[in-house]
Amino acid sequence: MGLDVKAREILEQLKAAALPKLSEIGPAAARAAMRSSFFRGKDTPVGKVENRTMPGPAGDMALRIYTPLEAKAATLPGFVFFHGGGFVIGDLDTHDDLCRCLANASGCRVVSADYRLAPESPFPAAVEDCLAATQWIDAHKGELGIAGDIAVGGDSAGGNLAAVVCQLAKSAGPKLAFQLLIYPVTQLGQPDTPSMRENGKGYFLERDGMAWFTRMYCPDAQHHRDPRLSPLLAADLSGLPPAYVVTAGFDPLRDEGVAYADKLDAAGVPVTHVNYPGMIHGFFSMRGLIPKAREAVAASAAALRAALVTE
C-alpha cells in the first residue's frame, strides 16, 4: 500500500514551507513550533477539564484531568497518558485535543502527566516522573474519581515511557490493567531496521531528527542499552499488562514497534498489534486532516474501553 493521500498532502505542505530542522533551531524554538502546529485538533468538547499538580521527584508536576462528555458515573476507569515529542518537545497543550478525544471515545477519565524534558532534564528524569505520576495517581484514585486498576499509554516518546513504566511497575507497583503504545520508540541509538532505512528521510520524523532527540535525551551512548531507555532490550517481558501497539507503515520507528509487540507476545503477554500501512509518524495528531487518523484514534479508544470499562 502506498502513502495515504492526505498524509502526502501534509508532507508536501511541510516541504513547501521549507521549515528549518528542529536540530537547527534548538529545543525552545522547537517546542514553540510544535505548539503552533497547523494540523493539530483543538478544543473537542468534554465533560470537564481540571488542571492540578502533584509532588514529583524534582518538584510539583502538572496534571490535566479529562472527564468524558457523557460520563455515566462519578467514578470512572483511569488512563494515564504521556505525550510524545522525542523527550524534548511537547506538553499538556500539544496533546490536549488527543486526550479529549480518547476520554470521550473510551469512557475513561484521562490524566495527562507533564514530565520533565531534555536537555534541561536528561534521562532518566522523564522515566522517574512518569513512574511517580502513575504511582501517585493510583494512590489517589478515590480523590480523582477513578475506579479499578489504571492503564497507561502514550505516543512516540510517550509510548516509550508507558512501556518503561509497565516494566518498572511489575516490581515497584502499581498493578496496571493495560498499555496503549502508539508508534512507540522502543530502542534508542538508531537501530538499523528496514523501516529506519526506508523511511528515514522525507516522512515527517527523520533519522537525523531521531538522532538529535537521542542526543538531547541521553547523550551518553553507553546507556542506550538500559531497558529504562530502550524497553525492547529488557530481558523479561512476562507478566506485563495487556498491550495494544500501533505502528505506521511510513514511520522509521515501525519495525521497533513491531519487534516490541512480537516480544510481548513471545513472553505470553496478550497483545494486539495494528499497523496502518499508509500512515506516517505522528498521524494521531493529524486527525483534523487525515480521516484514517480519526479511525485509528477511535480504534485505540475502543481497545482501551474494552480493557477497562464494564457497562
**Residues 7 and 199: beta-carbon distance below 8 Å:** no
**Is there a contact between 139 and 54 (Cβ–Cβ < 8 Å)?**
no
Candidate list 255, 281, 285, 300, residue with the active-site label: 281
pLDDT of residue 38: 61
Q: Do the strands 151-155 and 78-82 form a parallel or antiparallel pair, or are they unpaired?
A: parallel
pLDDT of residue 297: 98
Is 224 a residue of the active site?
no
Active site residue 251: yes
Active site residue 281: yes
Burial pattern 120-155, b for ≥16 Cβ within 10 A else e, equals ebbbbbbbbbbbbbbbbbbeebeebbbbebbbbbbb
Model confidence at 42, in pLDDT bands (50, 70, 90)? confident
Q: What is the pTM assigned to this prediction?
A: 0.97
Structural domain boundaries of the chain?
Answer: 5-308
pLDDT per residue as tens digits for the range 81-97: 999 999 999 999 999 99
Average pLDDT estimate for 195-207? 96
pLDDT over 90, % of the chain:
89
Catalytic residue of the set 4, 138, 251, 255: 251
What whole-number distance in Å separates Cα of residue 182 and Cα of residue 152? 11
Mean pLDDT for 277-293 is 96
CA distance linking residue 232 with residue 187, whole number of Å: 6
Question: pLDDT tens, 206-233?
Answer: 999 999 999 999 999 889 999 999 999 9
Q: Work out the average pLDDT over 249-272.
A: 98
Residues 6+ apart with CB under 8 A from 22: 30, 33, 88, 89, 209, 212
| Average of per-residue pLDDT across 251-260 | 98
Give the per-residue pLDDT at 40.
65
Q: Report which residue type is found at 142.
A: G
Q: Which residues are within 8 A (CB) of 50 and not within 5 positions of it... i.e. 6 or more apart?
A: 64, 65, 67
**At 108, which helix (H) or strand (E)?**
none
pLDDT of residue 39: 66
User: What would the mean pLDDT of 63-80 be, rounded to a whole number?
Assistant: 95
The string of pLDDT tens digits covering residues 111-155 is 999 999 999 999 999 999 999 999 999 999 999 999 999 999 999
Identify the CATH number of the domain defined by range 5-308.
Answer: 3.40.50.1820
Nearest Cα residue to 204 out of 279, 268, 256: 279
pLDDT at 305: 97
Chain position carrying cell 470537564:
48
| List 156, 195, 230, 300, catalytic entry | 156
Label residue 22 by pLDDT band (50, 70, 90).
confident
